[in-house]
Every structure is written in C-alpha cells, then in structure tokens.
Amino acid sequence: MKYNVRHSRTFPDRRTAGRDLARALNRYSGRGDVLVLALPRGGVPVADEIARFLGAPLDILIVRKLGVPGQPELALGAIASGGARAVNDEIVEALGIDPAIVDAIADRERMEILRREQAYRGDRPPIQVAGKVVIVVDDGMATGATMRAGVRALRALQPARLVVAVPHAPTDTCASLSAETDELVCLEMPEPYVAVGRWYQDFPQLTDAEVREILGHAAAGRSA
C-alpha cells in the first residue's frame, strides 16, 4: 500500500506535521543512503523535522515550470534542481514547438533555479541524489502539479528509490501521484481539501532568510 488514510485533522503548525510524518517514515531511520529534499518554502520546516528524526541530510528541490511561448500558464514541462528536466513531448509536438526553443526556455529557468539555490544554499554544493533513497517533502498538496514535476525531473538523476511525503492532500491527488512514485506517504486526506493552509492552525509565510537559516543549521549539523 503506497499511502495511508486516517481521519482528517488539522495540524498545529508545519513542524508538528513534520514530526508526525517522520514517525510514519521511521523505517528509513539511521540509514546512510537516505536524503530528504524539501520543496521551498513551505516544505522546508516539515522536511527539517523529518531529516532530524531520520538522521538524514536535508537539501532543497526547486521546480520551475517550462511555459509554452505566448501561453506561459500552459506547461510543456518542468526543470528541477540539478538540471533534470521533464518535457511533455505530446504538447511540444502538437504545438510544433522547435526543440531549440524548449532548450532556450529551460536554460532561462535553469538560471532562475541557480539564483534561488544561491539565495537559499549559499556556497554549499547540492547533495547528489544518484543511488539514494530520496524523500521529497512539502507541507501539503492541492493539485500536486509542482510535486509531480519535481518527481518526473528527479527520475533523470537516477535515485535508488523515490518517496513523496506530505502531511495532507486530497485523495485523488494522492492516487494520481502514487502511480509516479515508489512510495507515497500522506497522513491525512481531507475532503473537500480547498487549500494547504486550511489544514494548519498556524500557517505563516516563510521568508528566504528563514529557509537559509534552516538549511544552514542542517548543514552545520552534518559537519559536526
């Protein structure tokens, strides 16, 4: 079974959700091949609690949509941290988009990813995912579009196992996304879902500075 269903509840905050989620991932504790990746910004404190509990490294996964020229709301694919990208060939072929244009769009978004990684990570290099059990974390999923794009892009980096972990998400989103992962762990599947923030009592917007601080502390802990 790829995911668990329990009664719907709200979480006090993201860190409480992260601790609850960490216990559901206990089987990955103490292993040297586990990496926790957070979708910033909201997924970072959730993932931080999971990484602490499992004794695993923490890093970020930034995902950028590749928008169709002239129709930026329509995604032809996505690119993620590490340069991995996933392209919807059906959309590219149906719209007759030149591969060179796709490359140009990807290059532009890659530069934005690098800029954001520099803002969050500083001079620390990204943690390699090849051959690792990678647990990708967010603070919740509505449609799951960003997580799906990240999962598809990560596959190109050849992780040994790809796990998605979220405190809550709609049932249909979990069912759809579980088909693209090796495992999906979701504690709550409330209906109607409406929005991620609805299922937290305290749901502040995180700043870039808070993300940098969390990642910095995690890196310092690894060094120690």
**CATH number of the domain bearing residue 111:** 3.30.1310.20
Q: Quick one: 39 and 55 in the same domain?
A: yes
Domain annotation covers residue 21:
yes
Domain annotation covers residue 214:
yes
Count Cβ atoms below 10 Å from residue 141 Cβ, excluding itself. 25
pLDDT at 51: 97
Q: Quick one: 144 and 84 in the same domain?
A: no
Q: Quick one: 99 and 152 in the same domain?
A: no
Domain annotation covers residue 201:
yes
CA distances from 112 to 68, 82, 106, 165, 221 (A): 17, 12, 10, 26, 28
The highest-confidence range among 89-98, 140-149, 182-191, by mean pLDDT, is 182-191
Q: Quick one: 84 and 133 in the same domain?
A: no
- Where is the domain boundary, 92, 121, 150? 121
Domain annotation covers residue 67:
yes
- Residue in the block written with tokens 């941290």: 81
Q: Is the pLDDT of residue 47 over 70?
A: yes
- Average pLDDT for residues 183-194, to the nearest whole number? 93
Sheet of 183-188: strand order equals 58-60, 34-38, 133-137, 161-168, 183-188
What CATH number is associated with residue 148? 3.40.50.2020
pLDDT at 224: 58
Contact in structure between 123 and 24 (CB atoms under 8 Å): no
The model's pTM: 0.86
Binning pLDDT at 50, 70 and 90, where does residue 4 land? Answer: very low
User: Alpha-carbon Rg of the chain, whole angstroms?
Assistant: 17
Q: Quick one: 108 and 145 in the same domain?
A: no
- Where is the domain boundary, 121, 136, 155? 121
- Average pLDDT for residues 22-36, to the nearest whole number? 97
Q: Quick one: 104 and 67 in the same domain?
A: yes
Q: Quick one: 78 and 28 in the same domain?
A: no
Domain annotation covers residue 5:
no
- Average pLDDT for residues 53-63, to the nearest whole number? 94
- Where is the domain boundary, 76, 106, 121? 121
Parent domain of 52? 14-61+125-223
Q: Quick one: 152 and 100 in the same domain?
A: no
Name every residue whose Cβ is closer than 8 Å to that of residue 4 and which is 6 or more positions away in sequence: 24, 185, 186, 187
| Total domain count, the chain | 2
Q: Is the pLDDT of residue 1 over 70?
A: no
Over pLDDT 70: what percentage of the chain?
Answer: 95
Domain annotation covers residue 57:
yes
Q: Quick one: 42 and 148 in the same domain?
A: yes
Domain annotation covers residue 4:
no
- Average pLDDT for residues 142-148, to the nearest whole number? 85
Domain annotation covers residue 180:
yes
* Bridge partners of residue 124, in order along the sequence: none
